[in-house]
Amino acid sequence: MTVSVYVPAVLSVLVAVLGRFIAVRLAPTRWTTFTVVGAAVLCASGTAWALLLLSFTLLGFTTFAVQEASERGVRLVQPVPGVVGVLAVIMLAVGVVRAVKVLRIRLATRKELRELCRSCGPGELVVVPVDEPHAFAVPGRPGRVLVTQGLLALLDSKERRVVLAHERAHLHGHHHGLRAALEVCAAVNPLLVPVREAVAFIVERAADERAAAVSGSREATAAALAKAALAETGQLCAGLGFITCAVSARVAALQAAPPRPKPLWLGGMLMLGVGTAAAAVQATLAFCRLIEWLWPA
Amino acid sequence: MSASPRFRARRAAGALESEVLAALWAAHQPLSTAEVQRAVDSELAYNTVQTILSRLYDKGLVGRSSDGRRHRYYPVKGAEELAAEQMQALLRRGPDRQGVLQRFATSLSEEDAEALRAMLRRRR
């Protein structure tokens, strides 16, 4: 338990690095998305569980274990210092509070948008008379596509098809759910914030590729993206996060040849996730052994 | 990457309805059926466009005015005006909320903007 309980933190860093690499280099297929999301979820649950185990050590049995060991004449490595337990409780509490907050904002916004769409009547598409160009996918049953008139007026027929296909791809791929999952993961384990950004990028790329396939033109897709991005007023990108400035990366990817999937990297990513979960299981077993040793049945 | 004919053949009725509606909103004046056909996809059958327009009319999403023997179609802006205000209020509410919205495009740096402008110029 002394080592395996800290392994999830180390592996989270590796997952973050590899996730970013995969987002930039690999074809944004369904498998890519699911692998990265799966690895992140395993990683976050492993970390949360490890924090929980560390928190349990505050119950006082670790000092008891050390005393017991010296009485029985066994050499026992000090399992977990008290400070670590306190830190674990704080981190876990902060993580849970943040996760709940993130989910509540998400649900509230989604509900608001859904009601807004419902007020505009039936059908898939809702157009609102706003000049600024925006397009959103609004998940629900059925999912809706919300577009501003300003965006439609900017584009030709093929580019309009691109926007509709892009938003529809978000709905079909359950991209909102995947992003919500990653937000919870990153709230619990801040080391996974880069993976959240990577998934946000991958789902945009996936929707772009789908739109390119539906419209039959990668150029039209790139042009629609460029026009929409250029027309968005007064929102120059402040940070350097690669998702806030990702439009250029997406346009560049569309101008290049369609990317190919590379299963080896995906396998590596999944192994990291599985590794985290395995470390959590290992830590749990060690925890149980310690308890059993102290209080034999 | 020429998957387009296959996709086009299978394009669902719902998707076509959205495309026709989008074309009507993009136009600045009411359109006749032939004009809608041209604005959406000239390979579409005239009758298909006509069917979709009457379906949209039945749903109350599209209005029409008679101009001699032909109908001209325009988008109905009823609840949409209110929805526009609500949407802008939502967008103003800050980055916390905006992060939730799955947007088509996000903002740009100045250099990136210049590169995109150059790309669009080359395309023309």
Q: How far is CA A157 from CA A102, A164, B79, in A?
A: 37, 11, 25
What part of A 248-287 touches B (C-beta under 8 Å)?
Answer: 248, 251, 255, 258
Classify the complex by whether its ipTM is higher than 0.90, answering yes or no. no
Q: Looking at CA atoms only, how far is residue A224 from chain B in angstroms?
A: 9
Say which residues have a Cβ less than 8 Å from residue A200's Cβ, sequence separation at least 6.
A179, A182, A243
- Arithmetic mean of pLDDT, A77-105: 86
* Confidence check: pLDDT of A91 > 70: yes
Domain region containing A72 = 7-294
In this structure, how many other beta carbons lie within 10 angstroms of the beta carbon of residue B97? 16
pLDDT at A244 (0 to 100): 47
Region of residue A216 (left: phi > 0; alpha: psi -120 to 50; beta: else): left
Task: Give a yes or no: residue A1 inside a domain.
Answer: no
CA A255, distance to chain mean position in Å, is 26
Q: What's phi and psi for A83, nearest 5 deg?
A: -60, -40
Please state, in angstroms and as integers, the Cα–Cα distance from residue A274 to each residue in A40, A279, B83, following that order. 10, 9, 46
CA distances from A257 to A200, A209, A213 (A): 22, 11, 13
- The verdict on residue A234 lying in a domain is yes
Q: What is the DSSP letter of A11?
A: H
Tell me the per-residue pLDDT of A143-169, one tens digit each, with 9 for 90 and over.
899 998 989 998 999 999 999 999 999
Which parts of chain A fold into alpha helices (H)?
Answer: 7-25, 30-56, 61-72, 82-119, 149-154, 157-172, 175-188, 193-215, 218-231, 246-255, 263-294
pTM for the full model?
A: 0.86
**Can you give the pLDDT at residue A241?**
38
Task: Chain B: give the shortest CA distance to residue A67, in Å.
Answer: 50
For chains A and B, count residue pairs whose Cβ atoms are closer than 8 Å. 201
Q: How many domains in chain A?
A: 1
Q: List C-alpha distances in Å: A286 to A13, A52, A293.
A: 24, 14, 10
Query: What's the CA gap between A94 and A90, in Å, rounded?
Result: 6
- Is pLDDT above 60 for A61? yes
Quote the tokens at residue A282: 């290992």
- Please tell us whether the domain made up of B4-75 is placed in CATH 1.10.10.10: yes
Mutate to test the interface with A, among B102, B117, B119 (most CBs of A within 10 A): B102
In a domain, A245, yes or no: yes
Neighbours of A75 (CB within 10 A): 6
- pLDDT tens across A165-187, in order? 999 999 999 999 999 999 999 99
Half-sphere exposure for A49 (CA within 13 Å, toward CB):
22
Exposed/middle/buried for residue B79 (C-beta within 10 Å: 0-12, 13-18, 19+): middle
The pLDDT assigned to A289 comes to: 82
Q: CB of A171 within 8 Å of any CB in chain B?
A: no
